[in-house]
Structure 1
Amino acid sequence: MTYYPDLAPYAYLPATVPAGVTARTVGWLDGSHPFAQGPAPAGFARRLGLLCRDQPRARTRGIHRCGLAGLGGCGLEPVHVEIEGRQVLLGSAEVRVAGVDGAWLIAPTLVYHYVTAHAYLPPAAFVEAVTAARVVG
């Protein structure tokens, strides 16, 4: 997967963001760049999982695999997870939420795996927007 630092200007599929909207990246990780880690706030992982399951955006034909293969035993296979009784394939779409400032915060659906399997701790603005369910795009 392409690496982007958290809160960098979004550039992966720029044509999918309306003109005039500020969009920033969250969770575009790889194994060669450090990332924030820590316990997810209460309820955040569940909300994030439901967002990935029920409201994926900007679906692509390809599938990205976990870029953190050396950090927790991930293999080269696509990441499938069960989210509240449904199997979900991660890595072929994004989740998009609005921060309190109105900027879109865009993450690959693999962000759920990074949070639950690798203790990735996204920026507070993303955690707040996911928890508040301010879905966009």
Structure 2
Amino acid sequence: MERVAMRRLSSLGITYAGYFEIDHGLITMFIERWKQETHTFHLLVGEAIVALQDEEVLWGVRVDGLPVTLIDRNRNIIRKKQLIEELLSFRPETQNFKDGMLKLIPIFDFLYEPLPDDTLEELVQQHVRCYILILFAG
């Protein structure tokens, strides 16, 4: 059921990415070929750049529309807790915040138990938001 909601959010590609083994030689090669003046990689076949469209094709994440993140310094902890409860279906404790931002540990704890098959769609969407938050934050 959660996968259906993830497809609606067009970010399923990220969830299947998993962990990558880092190729330090490849990263070093790209660093050496990066040109700060033009913000491009100078390769043997010509210049190359990573564009938002590349991200959309590779990960299935929509890159047009409104942004999905915002640091709201005007909202106090009580209002942040209310918003988190509304969007993610759990209310974190005050000690789960650091510098006004929510730590990821309570989200992991919240997601520890899998949802039953007959879960309401709203709760599924709230869980999906938790997973997305972890993916983008982590």
Q: TM-score surpassing 0.5?
A: no
**TM-score bucket of the superposed structures, by smaller chain:** under 0.3
Q: Larger Cα Rg: Structure 1 or Structure 2?
A: 2
Q: Higher relative contact order by CA 8 Å / sep ≥ 6: 1 or 2?
A: 1
Normalized per residue, which structure has more strand? 1
- TM-score where L is the length of structure 2: 0.23
